[in-house]
């Protein structure tokens, strides 16, 4: 029973273009969503988050959009840079409790 799903295992984008990573969830009790970035041989690091009371949160080149009716969120990276190449995990929480992670999307940004 996967409550958080990232249906694209990989994504390849040209440097300077937009990267869009998608995430779907099934549990309507989730009220907080986070994106983590993971480089090889390192632990995941926090990137950006959004509360369910918002539909957009922006931090520099990173923007997260939340569509509660569709139970869908997305991470936009503009412009994409080669250093953004990593695995991106979507995670969700209900009432501040433990995080449930999606399976991850490997982003490759080509110079």
Partner 1 sequence: EAGVAQSPRYKIIEKRQSVAFWCNPISGHATLYWYQQILGQGPKLLIQFQNNGVVDDSQLPKDRFSAERLKGVDSTLKIQPAKLEDSAVYLCASSAERTGLLGYTFGSGTRLTVV
- Is 59 exposed, middle or buried, given 0-12, 13-18 or 19+ CB atoms closer than 10 A? exposed
Among 8, 22, 49, 52, binds partner 1 (CB under 8 A): 49
Q: Which of 4, 13, 47, 75 binds partner 1 (CB under 8 A)?
A: 4
Query: Do 91 and 99 meet the contact criterion of CB atoms below 8 Å apart?
Result: yes
Could you give the 3-state DSSP secondary structure of residue 39? coil
Q: Which of 37, 44, 107, 109 is in the footprint of partner 1 by CB under 8 A?
A: 44
Between 32 and 62, CB nearer to partner 1: 32
Closest separation between CB of residue 80 and partner 1, Å?
22
Burial of 12 (0-12, 13-18, 19+ CB in 10 A): exposed
Q: Give the length of the chain.
A: 111
Minimum distance from residue 74 beta carbon to partner 1 (Å): 17
**Interface with partner 1 by CB under 8 A: which residues?**
4, 6, 9, 32, 34, 41-46, 49, 89, 91, 93, 96, 98-104
């Amino acid at each position: 029973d996967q409550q958080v799903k990232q249906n694209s295992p990989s994504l390849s984008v040209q440097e300077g273009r937009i990267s869009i990573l998608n995430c779907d969830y099934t549990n309507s009790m989730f009220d907080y969503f986070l994106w983590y970035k993971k480089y090889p041989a390192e632990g995941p690091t926090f990137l950006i988050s959004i509360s369910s009371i918002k539909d957009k949160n922006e931090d520099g080149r990173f923007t997260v959009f939340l569509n509660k009716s569709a139970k869908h969120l997305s991470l936009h990276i503009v412009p994409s840079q080669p250093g953004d190449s990593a695995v991106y995990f979507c995670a969700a929480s209900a009432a501040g409790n433990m995080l449930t992670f999606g399976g991850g999307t490997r982003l490759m940004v080509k110079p």
